[in-house]
Amino acid sequence: MRLIHTADWHLGQVLHGCPRDHEHARFLGWLLDRIGEHDVDALLIAGDVFDVQNPPVPALARFYRFLAEARARFPWLQTVVLAGNHDSGSRLEAPSALLAELGVRVVGALPCDAEGRFDPDALVLPLTERDGTVAARCVALPYLRPADLPPVTGDNVDPLIEGVRRVYAEATDAARRRLRPGEALILTGHCYMSGGALSDLSERKVLGGNLHALPADVFPEDAAYVALGHLHRAQSVGGRPHVCYSGSPIPLALDEAPYPHQVRLAEFAEGRLVSHLPLHVPRAVKICRVSGTPDAALAELQALALDDLPDRADWPFLEVSVTLPEPRPTLREEVEAAVAGRPVRLLKLSVTLTGSGDTLAESAAGVELSALAPEDVFLRLYARHHEGEPDAALLAAFHELLETVQGATP
Protein backbone atom coordinates (compact mmCIF):
# COMPACT_ATOMS: atom_id res chain seq x y z
CA MET A 1 0.00 0.00 0.00
CA ARG A 2 1.44 3.35 -1.06
CA LEU A 3 0.41 6.73 0.25
CA ILE A 4 1.42 10.30 -0.40
CA HIS A 5 1.74 12.50 2.69
CA THR A 6 1.36 16.22 2.10
CA ALA A 7 0.33 19.24 4.17
CA ASP A 8 0.23 23.02 4.38
CA TRP A 9 -1.18 23.82 0.96
CA HIS A 10 -2.57 27.18 2.14
CA LEU A 11 -4.89 27.49 -0.84
CA GLY A 12 -6.01 31.09 -1.30
CA GLN A 13 -2.81 32.60 0.08
CA VAL A 14 -1.82 36.09 -1.05
CA LEU A 15 1.89 36.90 -0.66
CA HIS A 16 2.60 40.63 -0.34
CA GLY A 17 -0.44 41.36 -2.50
CA CYS A 18 0.25 38.62 -5.06
CA PRO A 19 -2.21 35.68 -5.29
CA ARG A 20 -0.67 32.19 -5.43
CA ASP A 21 -3.41 30.63 -7.58
CA HIS A 22 -1.08 29.91 -10.49
CA GLU A 23 1.44 28.08 -8.31
CA HIS A 24 -1.25 26.07 -6.53
CA ALA A 25 -2.78 25.05 -9.87
CA ARG A 26 0.61 23.86 -11.11
CA PHE A 27 1.24 21.92 -7.88
CA LEU A 28 -2.13 20.18 -7.88
CA GLY A 29 -1.70 19.14 -11.51
CA TRP A 30 1.76 17.79 -10.67
CA LEU A 31 0.36 15.93 -7.65
CA LEU A 32 -2.28 14.18 -9.74
CA ASP A 33 0.41 13.00 -12.13
CA ARG A 34 2.53 11.66 -9.26
CA ILE A 35 -0.46 9.73 -7.85
CA GLY A 36 -0.75 7.98 -11.19
CA GLU A 37 2.99 7.54 -11.74
CA HIS A 38 3.56 5.87 -8.37
CA ASP A 39 0.29 3.91 -8.32
CA VAL A 40 -0.72 5.53 -5.02
CA ASP A 41 -3.54 4.05 -2.91
CA ALA A 42 -4.08 6.87 -0.41
CA LEU A 43 -3.54 10.61 -0.13
CA LEU A 44 -3.09 12.12 3.34
CA ILE A 45 -3.39 15.91 3.72
CA ALA A 46 -2.18 16.80 7.23
CA GLY A 47 -3.81 20.18 7.76
CA ASP A 48 -3.79 23.79 6.57
CA VAL A 49 -5.60 23.02 3.35
CA PHE A 50 -6.55 26.70 3.20
CA ASP A 51 -4.73 29.84 4.26
CA VAL A 52 -7.62 31.34 6.21
CA GLN A 53 -10.67 29.99 8.00
CA ASN A 54 -13.02 31.66 5.54
CA PRO A 55 -11.22 30.92 2.25
CA PRO A 56 -12.08 32.77 -0.96
CA VAL A 57 -14.45 31.06 -3.38
CA PRO A 58 -11.72 30.39 -6.00
CA ALA A 59 -9.67 28.50 -3.39
CA LEU A 60 -12.66 26.37 -2.42
CA ALA A 61 -13.42 25.68 -6.07
CA ARG A 62 -9.81 24.67 -6.74
CA PHE A 63 -9.83 22.21 -3.82
CA TYR A 64 -13.11 20.57 -4.80
CA ARG A 65 -12.08 20.45 -8.45
CA PHE A 66 -8.89 18.64 -7.43
CA LEU A 67 -10.81 16.07 -5.37
CA ALA A 68 -13.26 15.45 -8.22
CA GLU A 69 -10.48 15.04 -10.78
CA ALA A 70 -8.57 12.71 -8.45
CA ARG A 71 -11.66 10.53 -8.10
CA ALA A 72 -12.27 10.51 -11.85
CA ARG A 73 -8.69 9.54 -12.68
CA PHE A 74 -8.09 7.18 -9.76
CA PRO A 75 -11.40 5.63 -8.57
CA TRP A 76 -9.58 3.55 -5.94
CA LEU A 77 -7.87 6.53 -4.28
CA GLN A 78 -8.62 7.08 -0.58
CA THR A 79 -8.13 10.66 0.58
CA VAL A 80 -7.90 11.76 4.22
CA VAL A 81 -8.16 15.50 4.89
CA LEU A 82 -7.35 16.98 8.31
CA ALA A 83 -7.96 20.48 9.61
CA GLY A 84 -4.95 22.58 10.55
CA ASN A 85 -4.73 25.71 12.66
CA HIS A 86 -5.42 27.88 9.58
CA ASP A 87 -8.57 25.91 8.70
CA SER A 88 -12.08 26.11 10.04
CA GLY A 89 -12.75 22.54 11.11
CA SER A 90 -16.53 22.92 10.82
CA ARG A 91 -16.30 24.54 7.38
CA LEU A 92 -13.98 21.80 6.19
CA GLU A 93 -16.33 19.10 7.49
CA ALA A 94 -19.54 20.70 6.14
CA PRO A 95 -19.58 18.78 2.81
CA SER A 96 -18.38 15.51 4.39
CA ALA A 97 -21.40 13.47 3.28
CA LEU A 98 -20.86 14.51 -0.31
CA LEU A 99 -17.09 14.12 -0.22
CA ALA A 100 -17.44 10.61 1.23
CA GLU A 101 -18.96 9.60 -2.11
CA LEU A 102 -15.66 10.65 -3.69
CA GLY A 103 -13.65 8.49 -1.29
CA VAL A 104 -12.68 11.50 0.83
CA ARG A 105 -12.72 11.42 4.63
CA VAL A 106 -12.59 14.81 6.37
CA VAL A 107 -11.71 15.25 10.05
CA GLY A 108 -12.11 18.85 11.16
CA ALA A 109 -12.39 18.40 14.91
CA LEU A 110 -12.37 15.75 17.59
CA PRO A 111 -15.51 13.61 17.24
CA CYS A 112 -17.87 13.24 20.21
CA ASP A 113 -20.53 10.67 21.05
CA ALA A 114 -24.18 11.42 21.89
CA GLU A 115 -23.20 12.41 25.45
CA GLY A 116 -20.57 14.86 24.22
CA ARG A 117 -17.63 12.68 25.20
CA PHE A 118 -14.55 12.23 23.03
CA ASP A 119 -15.09 9.30 20.65
CA PRO A 120 -11.63 8.03 19.63
CA ASP A 121 -13.04 5.16 17.55
CA ALA A 122 -14.37 7.65 15.01
CA LEU A 123 -10.80 8.79 14.30
CA VAL A 124 -9.59 5.34 13.21
CA LEU A 125 -9.81 5.00 9.43
CA PRO A 126 -8.90 1.87 7.44
CA LEU A 127 -6.57 2.30 4.46
CA THR A 128 -6.82 -0.49 1.93
CA GLU A 129 -4.91 -2.00 -0.94
CA ARG A 130 -6.49 -2.08 -4.39
CA ASP A 131 -8.22 -5.41 -3.70
CA GLY A 132 -9.89 -4.04 -0.56
CA THR A 133 -7.50 -5.68 1.93
CA VAL A 134 -6.89 -3.42 4.93
CA ALA A 135 -3.20 -2.50 4.93
CA ALA A 136 -3.19 0.13 7.69
CA ARG A 137 -5.25 1.81 10.40
CA CYS A 138 -4.87 5.57 10.28
CA VAL A 139 -5.45 7.62 13.45
CA ALA A 140 -6.67 10.82 11.76
CA LEU A 141 -6.09 13.52 14.40
CA PRO A 142 -6.54 17.14 13.30
CA TYR A 143 -5.08 20.25 14.91
CA LEU A 144 -5.85 20.17 18.63
CA ARG A 145 -6.91 23.39 20.33
CA PRO A 146 -6.52 23.77 24.11
CA ALA A 147 -10.31 23.42 24.50
CA ASP A 148 -10.08 19.94 22.92
CA LEU A 149 -7.79 18.61 25.64
CA PRO A 150 -8.83 16.80 28.82
CA PRO A 151 -8.18 18.65 32.09
CA VAL A 152 -4.86 17.71 33.63
CA THR A 153 -3.63 18.57 37.12
CA GLY A 154 -0.53 17.75 39.07
CA ASP A 155 2.84 19.13 40.03
CA ASN A 156 5.51 19.56 37.36
CA VAL A 157 3.05 18.61 34.62
CA ASP A 158 2.44 20.80 31.57
CA PRO A 159 -1.35 20.51 31.08
CA LEU A 160 -1.16 21.17 27.33
CA ILE A 161 1.50 18.59 26.57
CA GLU A 162 0.00 16.01 28.90
CA GLY A 163 -3.46 16.67 27.48
CA VAL A 164 -2.21 16.02 23.94
CA ARG A 165 -0.44 12.88 25.13
CA ARG A 166 -3.69 11.53 26.60
CA VAL A 167 -5.69 12.25 23.42
CA TYR A 168 -3.11 10.39 21.33
CA ALA A 169 -3.05 7.52 23.83
CA GLU A 170 -6.83 7.09 23.67
CA ALA A 171 -6.94 7.30 19.90
CA THR A 172 -4.01 4.91 19.50
CA ASP A 173 -5.61 2.40 21.87
CA ALA A 174 -8.78 2.55 19.75
CA ALA A 175 -6.69 1.78 16.66
CA ARG A 176 -4.86 -1.09 18.35
CA ARG A 177 -8.17 -2.73 19.21
CA ARG A 178 -8.90 -2.94 15.48
CA LEU A 179 -5.38 -3.67 14.29
CA ARG A 180 -4.87 -7.11 12.76
CA PRO A 181 -1.63 -8.88 11.88
CA GLY A 182 -0.09 -7.37 8.75
CA GLU A 183 -1.73 -3.96 9.27
CA ALA A 184 0.36 -0.84 9.87
CA LEU A 185 -0.42 1.79 12.50
CA ILE A 186 -0.30 5.30 11.02
CA LEU A 187 -0.75 8.49 13.06
CA THR A 188 -1.27 12.08 12.01
CA GLY A 189 -0.83 15.46 13.65
CA HIS A 190 -0.86 19.16 12.94
CA CYS A 191 1.39 20.60 15.61
CA TYR A 192 4.76 22.06 16.49
CA MET A 193 7.21 19.37 17.56
CA SER A 194 10.21 19.98 19.81
CA GLY A 195 13.35 20.58 17.77
CA GLY A 196 11.49 21.45 14.58
CA ALA A 197 12.98 24.13 12.30
CA LEU A 198 10.59 27.05 11.90
CA SER A 199 9.90 29.43 9.04
CA ASP A 200 9.55 32.64 11.04
CA LEU A 201 7.67 34.67 8.45
CA SER A 202 4.78 32.32 7.73
CA GLU A 203 4.15 29.81 10.52
CA ARG A 204 1.58 30.82 13.09
CA LYS A 205 2.29 29.69 16.64
CA VAL A 206 0.00 26.88 17.76
CA LEU A 207 -1.14 25.23 20.99
CA GLY A 208 -0.23 28.01 23.38
CA GLY A 209 2.80 29.16 21.38
CA ASN A 210 6.08 27.54 20.44
CA LEU A 211 7.04 27.22 24.10
CA HIS A 212 4.59 24.32 24.06
CA ALA A 213 6.46 22.26 21.51
CA LEU A 214 5.46 18.64 21.78
CA PRO A 215 8.03 15.93 22.49
CA ALA A 216 8.22 13.10 19.96
CA ASP A 217 7.35 10.57 22.65
CA VAL A 218 3.68 11.61 22.48
CA PHE A 219 3.64 9.19 19.55
CA PRO A 220 3.90 5.49 20.47
CA GLU A 221 6.88 3.42 19.42
CA ASP A 222 4.70 0.96 17.50
CA ALA A 223 3.54 3.61 15.01
CA ALA A 224 4.84 2.64 11.58
CA TYR A 225 4.58 6.24 10.33
CA VAL A 226 3.56 9.64 11.74
CA ALA A 227 2.41 12.18 9.15
CA LEU A 228 2.79 15.72 10.44
CA GLY A 229 1.74 19.14 9.23
CA HIS A 230 2.35 22.75 10.33
CA LEU A 231 6.10 23.29 9.80
CA HIS A 232 6.81 24.25 6.20
CA ARG A 233 10.32 22.81 6.08
CA ALA A 234 10.32 19.06 5.41
CA GLN A 235 12.06 17.29 8.29
CA SER A 236 12.03 14.36 10.68
CA VAL A 237 11.83 15.00 14.42
CA GLY A 238 12.90 13.38 17.66
CA GLY A 239 15.59 11.31 15.96
CA ARG A 240 12.83 9.15 14.45
CA PRO A 241 12.95 9.16 10.61
CA HIS A 242 9.37 7.96 10.30
CA VAL A 243 8.00 10.87 12.39
CA CYS A 244 8.13 13.63 9.83
CA TYR A 245 6.74 16.79 8.34
CA SER A 246 6.11 16.61 4.62
CA GLY A 247 6.69 20.35 4.38
CA SER A 248 4.67 22.75 2.25
CA PRO A 249 4.52 22.18 -1.52
CA ILE A 250 5.33 25.82 -2.33
CA PRO A 251 7.31 28.48 -0.44
CA LEU A 252 4.77 30.39 1.64
CA ALA A 253 7.11 33.22 2.57
CA LEU A 254 10.08 34.76 0.81
CA ASP A 255 12.46 33.34 3.42
CA GLU A 256 11.35 29.81 2.44
CA ALA A 257 13.02 30.10 -0.97
CA PRO A 258 16.34 28.40 -0.12
CA TYR A 259 15.07 24.92 0.77
CA PRO A 260 13.28 22.41 -1.48
CA HIS A 261 9.55 21.74 -1.19
CA GLN A 262 8.08 18.31 -1.45
CA VAL A 263 5.53 15.65 -0.62
CA ARG A 264 6.46 12.25 0.81
CA LEU A 265 5.80 8.86 -0.74
CA ALA A 266 5.52 6.07 1.84
CA GLU A 267 5.10 2.35 1.17
CA PHE A 268 3.87 -0.25 3.65
CA ALA A 269 3.93 -4.04 3.62
CA GLU A 270 3.17 -6.62 6.30
CA GLY A 271 2.42 -3.92 8.84
CA ARG A 272 5.75 -2.14 8.36
CA LEU A 273 7.01 0.99 6.66
CA VAL A 274 9.30 -0.39 3.96
CA SER A 275 10.28 2.91 2.30
CA HIS A 276 9.58 6.63 2.41
CA LEU A 277 11.15 9.17 0.12
CA PRO A 278 10.62 12.78 -0.91
CA LEU A 279 9.04 13.76 -4.20
CA HIS A 280 10.34 17.26 -4.89
CA VAL A 281 7.76 19.71 -6.23
CA PRO A 282 9.02 21.75 -9.21
CA ARG A 283 9.22 25.47 -8.41
CA ALA A 284 6.56 27.11 -10.60
CA VAL A 285 7.71 30.65 -9.74
CA LYS A 286 11.27 31.48 -8.76
CA ILE A 287 12.10 33.75 -5.84
CA CYS A 288 14.98 36.19 -6.31
CA ARG A 289 16.48 37.86 -3.24
CA VAL A 290 18.89 40.79 -3.54
CA SER A 291 20.58 42.42 -0.57
CA GLY A 292 23.36 44.82 0.35
CA THR A 293 24.02 48.54 0.43
CA PRO A 294 21.88 50.65 -1.95
CA ASP A 295 24.56 50.85 -4.64
CA ALA A 296 25.45 47.14 -4.37
CA ALA A 297 21.79 46.10 -4.50
CA LEU A 298 21.08 48.30 -7.51
CA ALA A 299 24.10 46.90 -9.33
CA GLU A 300 22.94 43.36 -8.60
CA LEU A 301 19.45 44.18 -9.83
CA GLN A 302 20.79 45.52 -13.10
CA ALA A 303 22.87 42.36 -13.57
CA LEU A 304 20.03 40.01 -12.61
CA ALA A 305 19.64 37.26 -15.23
CA LEU A 306 15.94 36.79 -16.02
CA ASP A 307 14.24 34.44 -18.44
CA ASP A 308 12.02 36.04 -21.07
CA LEU A 309 8.70 34.63 -19.86
CA PRO A 310 5.62 35.79 -21.79
CA ASP A 311 3.11 34.89 -19.03
CA ARG A 312 3.29 37.34 -16.13
CA ALA A 313 2.09 34.59 -13.76
CA ASP A 314 5.45 32.84 -14.36
CA TRP A 315 7.57 35.89 -13.57
CA PRO A 316 9.84 35.52 -10.52
CA PHE A 317 9.07 37.20 -7.21
CA LEU A 318 11.68 39.71 -6.09
CA GLU A 319 12.68 40.75 -2.58
CA VAL A 320 15.18 43.57 -2.16
CA SER A 321 16.75 44.08 1.29
CA VAL A 322 18.89 47.18 1.66
CA THR A 323 21.23 48.17 4.48
CA LEU A 324 20.88 51.94 4.77
CA PRO A 325 23.77 53.75 6.50
CA GLU A 326 22.36 57.18 5.51
CA PRO A 327 19.02 58.54 4.27
CA ARG A 328 18.15 57.76 0.64
CA PRO A 329 14.69 59.19 -0.09
CA THR A 330 14.75 58.06 -3.73
CA LEU A 331 15.53 54.42 -2.92
CA ARG A 332 12.15 52.96 -3.95
CA GLU A 333 12.12 54.94 -7.19
CA GLU A 334 15.66 53.72 -7.99
CA VAL A 335 14.76 50.10 -7.31
CA GLU A 336 11.57 50.30 -9.36
CA ALA A 337 13.47 51.94 -12.22
CA ALA A 338 16.07 49.14 -12.14
CA VAL A 339 13.39 46.48 -12.76
CA ALA A 340 10.99 48.49 -14.92
CA GLY A 341 10.03 46.64 -18.10
CA ARG A 342 11.75 43.44 -16.99
CA PRO A 343 10.01 40.05 -16.37
CA VAL A 344 10.09 40.17 -12.56
CA ARG A 345 7.63 41.21 -9.83
CA LEU A 346 8.91 43.35 -6.96
CA LEU A 347 7.07 42.00 -3.92
CA LYS A 348 9.02 43.49 -1.05
CA LEU A 349 11.55 46.25 -0.42
CA SER A 350 12.88 46.20 3.13
CA VAL A 351 15.37 48.53 4.77
CA THR A 352 17.74 47.76 7.64
CA LEU A 353 18.90 50.87 9.47
CA THR A 354 22.42 50.96 10.89
CA GLY A 355 22.04 53.41 13.76
CA SER A 356 22.12 52.73 17.48
CA GLY A 357 18.39 52.14 17.79
CA ASP A 358 18.32 54.12 21.02
CA THR A 359 15.18 56.03 21.90
CA LEU A 360 15.44 59.70 22.81
CA ALA A 361 15.13 58.85 26.51
CA GLU A 362 17.96 56.31 26.19
CA SER A 363 20.30 58.59 24.26
CA ALA A 364 19.68 61.51 26.63
CA ALA A 365 19.74 59.64 29.92
CA GLY A 366 20.15 62.00 32.85
CA VAL A 367 19.23 65.05 30.77
CA GLU A 368 15.99 67.00 31.10
CA LEU A 369 14.33 66.62 27.72
CA SER A 370 13.09 70.19 27.92
CA ALA A 371 16.74 71.29 28.00
CA LEU A 372 17.47 69.77 24.58
CA ALA A 373 17.57 72.12 21.65
CA PRO A 374 15.64 71.09 18.50
CA GLU A 375 18.95 70.36 16.71
CA ASP A 376 20.01 68.06 19.57
CA VAL A 377 16.79 66.09 19.17
CA PHE A 378 17.29 65.91 15.40
CA LEU A 379 20.89 64.68 15.75
CA ARG A 380 19.91 62.03 18.29
CA LEU A 381 17.09 60.83 16.04
CA TYR A 382 19.51 60.65 13.11
CA ALA A 383 21.95 58.59 15.23
CA ARG A 384 19.13 56.22 16.15
CA HIS A 385 18.61 55.32 12.48
CA HIS A 386 21.94 55.97 10.73
CA GLU A 387 25.70 55.86 11.17
CA GLY A 388 27.86 58.97 11.38
CA GLU A 389 26.68 62.57 11.09
CA PRO A 390 24.05 64.04 8.74
CA ASP A 391 25.56 65.74 5.71
CA ALA A 392 25.55 69.52 5.37
CA ALA A 393 22.65 69.61 2.90
CA LEU A 394 20.36 67.59 5.21
CA LEU A 395 21.31 69.73 8.21
CA ALA A 396 20.66 72.91 6.23
CA ALA A 397 17.24 71.57 5.20
CA PHE A 398 16.43 70.88 8.85
CA HIS A 399 17.41 74.43 9.87
CA GLU A 400 15.28 75.87 7.05
CA LEU A 401 12.30 73.81 8.18
CA LEU A 402 12.89 74.77 11.81
CA GLU A 403 13.01 78.47 10.97
CA THR A 404 9.81 78.16 8.96
CA VAL A 405 8.01 76.44 11.84
CA GLN A 406 9.33 78.84 14.48
CA GLY A 407 8.51 81.85 12.30
CA ALA A 408 4.93 80.68 11.95
CA THR A 409 4.47 80.21 15.71
CA PRO A 410 2.32 83.03 17.19
pLDDT digits (tens, 9 = 90+) for 68-90: 999 999 999 999 999 999 999 99
Nearest to 246 by CA among 260, 99, 79: 260
> Residue 378 has what pLDDT?
87
Q: What is the pLDDT of residue 210?
A: 46
**Helical H segments across 74-158, by residue range:** 89-93, 96-100
pLDDT tens per residue, range 202-223:
555 555 554 568 888 899 999 9
Residue 196: pLDDT above 70? no
Positive or negative: CA dihedral 140, 270, 267, 43: negative
Decide if 191 contacts 85 (C-beta within 8 A).
Answer: no
Could you tell me which residues are beta bridge partners of residue 81?
Answer: 45, 106
Q: Please state, in angstroms and rounded to a whole number, the distance separating the CA atoms of residues 37 and 278.
A: 14
Alpha helices in 113-180 (DSSP H): 159-178
Q: Which helix (H) or strand (E) holds 6?
A: strand 2-6
Q: Could you tell me if residue 319 is left (phi over 0), alpha (psi between -120 and 50 degrees) or otherwise beta? A: beta
Neighbours of 277 (CB within 10 A): 10
The pLDDT tens digits of the residues spanning 314-339 come to: 999 999 999 988 888 899 999 999 99
**Size of the chain, expressed as the number of residues it contains:** 410
CA–CA dist 235, 246 (Å, integer): 7
Average pLDDT for the chain: 90
- How many Å apart are CA 87 and CA 190, to the nearest integer? 11
Q: Which domains does the chain have, with CATH numbers?
A: 2-280 (3.60.21.10), 287-408 (no CATH)
CA 115 to chain CA centroid, Å, is 36
Q: Please say whether the dihedral angle defined by the alpha carbons of residues 99, 100, 102 and 105, taken in this order, is positive or negative.
A: positive
**Is the four-CA dihedral 177, 79, 34, 230 of positive or negative sign?**
negative
d(CA 39, CA 46) in angstroms, rounded, equals 20
Indicate if the pLDDT at residue 127 is higher than 90.
yes
State residue 206's pLDDT score: 55
Percent with pLDDT over 70 in the chain = 95
Q: Which residue has the higher pLDDT, 382 or 345?
A: 345
Other residues' Cβ atoms within 10 Å of the Cβ of residue 288: 21
